[in-house]
Structure 1
Amino acid sequence: MSDTLETRLKQEAAALGFAACGIARADATPRTAARLAAWLADGAHGDMLWMADRAEQRGTPAALWPQVRSVVMLGMSYAPPVDPRALEAESQIGRISAYARGQDYHDIVKKALKALARWLVAAGGGDLKVFVDTAPVMEKPLAEAAGLGWQGKHTNLVSRSDGSWLLLGAIMTTLDLAPDAPARDTCGRCDACQRACPTDAFPAPYRLDARRCISYLTIEAKGPIPREFRAAIGNRLYGCDDCLAVCPWNKFAATAAANRAFAARAELAAPEVADILQLDDAAFRQVFSGSPIKRIGRDRMVRNAAIVAGNGDARTVPQLLALLDDPAPIVRGAAIWALGRLDQGRFAAECRTRLPLETDPDVRSEWTGAEMSPMRPNAPDQR
């Protein structure tokens, strides 16, 4: 292999912990802007208003930085050692997406990206910028153009060597680097990811309606989780890995090569729902310090836990009762819904005294339209 700048760049990337590195021309994704515009026009982004706010910059790297000539796309593997669906039947355990069980991936990937950027400037010169997830960059189309993988039918990147388990970062540079061949879609007739989705979030292959996606509902959605999706959430406390976990290409992902920083922290590997329900803001910050979960805040996390509790059994009723006085409406509302499913008698009694005093319209609607489950108090949910 010739000792070109591109070759040495990829060797350095591997040494820094990246599982994949490829190069694309800055103008390699001409259809991205139109596809993004159509997706936004459908309203499929839901509450993710930041997607629309800087849509013009997302359409092409040059719109974000006119001087860019090449984009170096990097992928870091977080392949989990066990199937993320293994705890699906444990109703008192809240499942957290594999990428969020360890250290914050933003910090891990950005640190390696900056180190690689310093190397590239020293070796080749030019100006550059680094991006990890938070900037208006369409990483997945660029990663496909750079040969890292292809956007599968679940709309996430699929790699022949790392399955659906790559976290992406980008380095934009003014250097004219030799581009890699784009990846070829090899999903074929497989529709495992489409069938795995608990909420039917894929209106068609390669299309995602974020408003129905459990990852969106438990992470991005700021208000009450729509009633139609609550039972399907099951015990998914933060995010959902189902469409990723069933991808057949995962069999080639070597978990031993995954960055150890993504290893699950003990308290996040299988958290008890009852414990999450009892978190105040200070305790939330302490438990999720250094985790990407801290970004959603205590109220959304406890809201999620209440939904999970409502899909479990009556052991969490004491914690739910305490949340009926929570200052956050989204927490009170979720606790009401869960109580109605787990203990109908207590729900009715609390409703008589609390409904007349409730002023928030969303919370009032939980009292008046609560979904009642035929479960017996203290009996496990058999749905």
Structure 2
Amino acid sequence: MSTQSNADLVVIGSGIHGCSAALHAAMRGLSVIVIEKDTAGRHASGVNAGGVRRLGRLLPEVPISDRSMKIWDKINDLVDDDCGFQKAPQIKVAETEDEMEAHRERVRVLNDMGFHHETILSQADLRDYLPAVSDHCVGGLASLEDGFALPYQTTFAFQRKAIGLGVRFYENTRAQKVQRDGKNWRVVTDHGTFSGTYLLNCAGAWAGNVAQQIGEYAPVEAIAPMMIVTARMPRFCNAVVGATGRPLSFKQMENGTVVIGGGLRGIAKPETNGSQMLFGKLKQTANTAISIFPIMKTATIVRSWSGIEGRMPDDMPVIGRSSTEENVFHAFGFSAHGFQMGPGVGELMAELIATGETNAPIESFHISRFTTKH
């Protein structure tokens, strides 16, 4: 089937950021087309841990993460779906006094920036929130009003709401060539040609190719974060837990299962759309979980998975205008921590595209930080 269609905005990629941007653009009155080579949420947005966290954000991300949290707090009003969002303390466990001192310094820096959502937990505080935590843990850093959500449910909710506002999604449609057509942008795909006044690159691990076609250097690395889920266990954890000095993302779901991730990666194969598990690294993740929560010695792993995500060399996303072409914008490379920021990034991108400006501090995320070094 061959298709030719026009809109004000063409978005490439229907992860959480693409779907959120499409929805917010439609809310501002723009006509929107979203092109997706697979299906919505097929990669990073559907396979992540679902953490809705401000805790531990890179400092330039904090204002955007905070903005996004205000949307999460009223997510049902926006997308007519609760997205499985639950408030839960996000806690980063410290295992040494040096780690505690680093946490204290971070809180001082955040407070100086005007943000007060992160707080120090003493060893006694930590035990209050995490009674099952190992005796060797000395305290922690917490953001008590964060939480978690269900990634697939969330991405589909944004897509469904966008469709209800007239956004047209073309799934299983691969963008092959991006080219200027007068004042418009044309995207040639394997199922026809689409054009729009504005183009937004939300192509995740594949976004570097889109950027390259308009003369921009974006060193996106395809990575494959791995996840584990256990059989149901007695309730022992009501927070989302990380470790300060080693990779861990840990939470117990309502049904008693435990979901564990933490940055250890399999092998991403973007050219074939797949990824490969590395079970030796999964064992390392499991051992970290046991070290922090000894009760995990009795856990039974029932499933593990990975997906493809785009990572930038500095672990910060690319957000903002193109440095080479007018009316082209980017939002990609969220480096395995973009889920929480999806609603806020979509909102600010729609604001930027529709009005030409945004009050969000996004200068640190501009793609030119790579172009100038290349």
- The two structures have a TM-score, normalised by structure 1, of 0.26
Higher strand share: 2
- Structure exhibiting the larger radius of gyration computed from Cα positions: 1
- The two structures have a TM-score, normalised by structure 2, of 0.26
